Amino acid sequence: MKWVTALLILFFIAVSGCSQNVKESQSLKKDIRSEMNLHKSEFRLSHAADFSWEKAYIFGPYTTEDEIEKELGMPFKNESNLEQREDMNIIVFVKGNRVIMYAEIPRSYGDFLVRDLPITPKKDQIRFQEIKT
Protein backbone atom coordinates (compact mmCIF):
# COMPACT_ATOMS: atom_id res chain seq x y z
CA MET A 1 0.00 0.00 0.00
CA LYS A 2 2.88 2.37 0.76
CA TRP A 3 4.31 1.94 -2.73
CA VAL A 4 0.93 2.84 -4.28
CA THR A 5 0.84 6.04 -2.21
CA ALA A 6 4.44 6.81 -3.18
CA LEU A 7 3.64 6.26 -6.87
CA LEU A 8 0.61 8.55 -6.65
CA ILE A 9 2.68 11.28 -5.00
CA LEU A 10 5.37 10.99 -7.69
CA PHE A 11 2.71 11.10 -10.39
CA PHE A 12 1.17 14.31 -9.05
CA ILE A 13 4.59 15.92 -8.68
CA ALA A 14 5.45 15.00 -12.28
CA VAL A 15 2.14 16.27 -13.64
CA SER A 16 2.28 19.54 -11.74
CA GLY A 17 5.92 20.05 -12.74
CA CYS A 18 4.98 19.87 -16.43
CA SER A 19 2.38 22.58 -16.15
CA GLN A 20 3.19 25.90 -17.79
CA ASN A 21 0.27 27.77 -16.27
CA VAL A 22 1.99 31.13 -15.79
CA LYS A 23 -0.01 34.29 -15.11
CA GLU A 24 0.47 37.44 -17.15
CA SER A 25 2.76 40.06 -15.62
CA GLN A 26 1.08 43.45 -15.48
CA SER A 27 4.31 45.13 -14.34
CA LEU A 28 6.19 43.71 -17.35
CA LYS A 29 3.42 44.93 -19.65
CA LYS A 30 3.72 48.40 -18.10
CA ASP A 31 7.53 48.41 -18.48
CA ILE A 32 7.33 47.35 -22.14
CA ARG A 33 4.75 50.06 -22.79
CA SER A 34 7.06 52.64 -21.16
CA GLU A 35 9.96 51.57 -23.39
CA MET A 36 7.75 51.77 -26.49
CA ASN A 37 6.55 55.26 -25.53
CA LEU A 38 10.09 56.43 -24.86
CA HIS A 39 11.74 55.15 -28.04
CA LYS A 40 8.98 55.32 -30.69
CA SER A 41 10.43 52.72 -33.11
CA GLU A 42 12.80 50.34 -31.30
CA PHE A 43 13.94 49.43 -27.82
CA ARG A 44 16.01 46.85 -25.97
CA LEU A 45 13.79 44.21 -24.42
CA SER A 46 16.23 43.75 -21.54
CA HIS A 47 15.51 47.34 -20.45
CA ALA A 48 11.89 46.34 -19.81
CA ALA A 49 12.58 42.80 -18.58
CA ASP A 50 14.67 43.38 -15.48
CA PHE A 51 14.75 39.72 -14.45
CA SER A 52 16.83 36.71 -15.49
CA TRP A 53 15.68 35.18 -18.79
CA GLU A 54 17.33 33.22 -21.61
CA LYS A 55 14.92 33.52 -24.53
CA ALA A 56 11.87 35.55 -25.48
CA TYR A 57 9.32 34.97 -28.20
CA ILE A 58 6.78 37.35 -29.70
CA PHE A 59 3.54 35.92 -31.03
CA GLY A 60 1.14 37.98 -33.07
CA PRO A 61 -2.60 37.95 -33.61
CA TYR A 62 -4.30 34.68 -34.54
CA THR A 63 -1.36 32.51 -33.41
CA THR A 64 -2.76 29.20 -32.21
CA GLU A 65 -1.79 27.57 -28.93
CA ASP A 66 -0.31 24.65 -30.92
CA GLU A 67 1.91 27.04 -32.91
CA ILE A 68 3.08 28.72 -29.71
CA GLU A 69 3.86 25.39 -28.06
CA LYS A 70 5.71 24.18 -31.16
CA GLU A 71 7.88 27.33 -31.24
CA LEU A 72 8.55 27.21 -27.49
CA GLY A 73 9.14 23.46 -27.51
CA MET A 74 7.01 23.06 -24.39
CA PRO A 75 3.41 23.31 -23.17
CA PHE A 76 2.07 26.81 -22.64
CA LYS A 77 -1.38 27.79 -21.46
CA ASN A 78 -2.56 31.38 -21.29
CA GLU A 79 -5.84 33.15 -20.94
CA SER A 80 -5.44 35.62 -23.81
CA ASN A 81 -7.12 33.39 -26.43
CA LEU A 82 -4.70 34.84 -28.98
CA GLU A 83 -5.84 32.61 -31.84
CA GLN A 84 -9.16 34.47 -31.99
CA ARG A 85 -7.85 38.00 -31.50
CA GLU A 86 -6.44 40.57 -33.87
CA ASP A 87 -5.78 43.21 -31.22
CA MET A 88 -3.08 41.45 -29.21
CA ASN A 89 0.53 40.26 -29.24
CA ILE A 90 2.13 38.26 -26.46
CA ILE A 91 5.77 38.17 -25.41
CA VAL A 92 6.79 34.95 -23.67
CA PHE A 93 9.99 34.67 -21.60
CA VAL A 94 11.75 31.36 -21.07
CA LYS A 95 14.52 30.30 -18.70
CA GLY A 96 15.77 26.74 -18.82
CA ASN A 97 12.86 24.59 -19.88
CA ARG A 98 10.18 26.76 -18.28
CA VAL A 99 8.05 29.69 -19.26
CA ILE A 100 8.75 32.17 -16.48
CA MET A 101 6.68 35.17 -17.53
CA TYR A 102 4.60 36.62 -20.32
CA ALA A 103 2.88 39.87 -21.15
CA GLU A 104 -0.05 40.66 -23.41
CA ILE A 105 0.81 43.71 -25.50
CA PRO A 106 -2.15 45.37 -27.27
CA ARG A 107 -1.52 46.21 -30.92
CA SER A 108 -2.61 49.75 -30.13
CA TYR A 109 0.89 50.08 -28.59
CA GLY A 110 2.38 49.10 -31.96
CA ASP A 111 3.11 46.15 -34.26
CA PHE A 112 6.35 44.29 -33.60
CA LEU A 113 8.73 43.83 -36.54
CA VAL A 114 10.66 40.76 -35.43
CA ARG A 115 12.61 38.63 -37.88
CA ASP A 116 14.61 36.26 -35.72
CA LEU A 117 13.29 34.17 -32.86
CA PRO A 118 14.14 33.53 -30.19
CA ILE A 119 15.21 36.88 -28.83
CA THR A 120 18.08 36.63 -26.35
CA PRO A 121 19.44 39.06 -23.76
CA LYS A 122 22.46 39.69 -26.02
CA LYS A 123 20.32 40.15 -29.14
CA ASP A 124 17.31 41.98 -27.79
CA GLN A 125 16.71 44.99 -30.03
CA ILE A 126 12.99 45.06 -30.82
CA ARG A 127 11.66 47.15 -33.69
CA PHE A 128 8.03 48.14 -33.80
CA GLN A 129 5.74 50.33 -35.82
CA GLU A 130 3.18 52.62 -34.26
CA ILE A 131 -0.40 52.06 -35.32
CA LYS A 132 -1.92 55.19 -36.81
CA THR A 133 -5.53 55.72 -35.80
pLDDT band of residue 19 (cuts 50, 70, 90) is very low
The side-by-side arrangement of strands in the sheet containing 98-106 is 55-59, 88-95, 98-106
**What are the residue ranges spanned by the domains of the chain?**
21-129
- Count the residues in the chain: 133
Q: What is the pTM of this model?
A: 0.81
Q: Give the tens place of pLDDT for each residue, 74-132.
A: 999 878 889 999 999 999 999 999 999 999 999 998 999 987 889 999 999 999 998 77
* Residues 6+ away with beta carbon under 8 Å from 48: 28, 31, 32, 34, 35
